[in-house]
Amino acid sequence: MNILILNGPNLNLLGVREKTIYGDQSFEDYFKELKSKFEEIELEYFQSNHEGAIIDKIHEVGFSFDGIILNAGAYTHTSVAIADAISAVNTPVIEVHLSNVHKREPFRHKSYLSPVCKGVIAGFGMDSYRLALAHFIK
């Protein structure tokens, strides 16, 4: 089984930025933990601050991987292009968020991605990724 974890803008700063919202662990450290817990799965990780690179990665794996776990960051609330990329591929996508976006600023309540994703997991910190991964392996 091949699963891609795809992170969007500013998520390269996890562990450093706004620790009260996003925690103090880097994603790279968390990803190492995931890989050791789920050795039977081929996990790939990609992060970009650029919308086009995220779209390119969705296109690259969207017909061959078993799942994509996507935290598109702020692009969740702005990118019709990423939503279109998700719609264009066969691989199911689960949208994840570290924080509960519905408890935050009103502009974060709207997701362009949710309608084209298999499901949404939000508000469980880094564990949001594990919960999405658990869905794919069941």
3-state secondary structure of 26: coil
**Predicted confidence (pLDDT) per residue in 50-106, tens digit:** 999 999 999 999 999 999 999 999 999 999 999 999 999 999 999 999 987 776 767
- Would you say 64 is a known binding-site residue? no
pTM: 0.92
Please tell me which residue in 45, 75, 97, 129 is annotated as part of the active site: 97
**Structural domains present in the chain:** 2-137 (3.40.50.9100)
CA-derived radius of gyration, the chain: 14
- Would you say 26 is a known binding-site residue? no
CA 70 to each of CA 90, 133: distance values in angstroms, whole numbers, following the listed order: 15, 11
